[in-house]
């Protein structure tokens, strides 16, 4: 029996979604079991920084 991995467990797919469709990429980072914790923290930290900078500019 062939088992298919979920799309969010493929780091390349999640990275592509982060670049081209960020909401889905962020969800993929959240759900992923294969992406290391340090990359998850880095992604969320970057997202928070962008939101804070956006609020300061506007």
37 within domain boundaries: yes
Burial of 13 (0-12, 13-18, 19+ CB in 10 A): middle
Residue 49: its pLDDT value, please? 96
pTM of the model: 0.80
Which 8-state DSSP code applies to residue 9? G
Residue 21 within a domain: yes
39 domain residue, yes or no: yes
Tell me the pLDDT tens digit for each residue of 2-56: 677 899 999 999 999 999 999 999 999 999 999 999 999 999 999 999 999 999 9
Domain that holds residue 33: 7-57
Tell whether the model's pLDDT for residue 1 goes beyond 70: no
Contact, 49 vs 38, CB < 8 A?
A: no
Q: What is the pLDDT of residue 11?
A: 93
Residue 1 located in a structural domain: no
In a domain, 15, yes or no: yes
Total number of domains in the chain:
1
């Amino acid at each position: 029996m062939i088992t298919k991995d979920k799309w969010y467990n493929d780091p390349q797919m999640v990275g592509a979604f982060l670049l081209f469709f960020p909401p889905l990429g962020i969800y993929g980072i959240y759900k992923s079991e294969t992406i290391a914790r340090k990359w998850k923290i880095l992604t969320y930290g970057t997202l928070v920084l962008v939101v804070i900078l956006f609020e300061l500019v506007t």
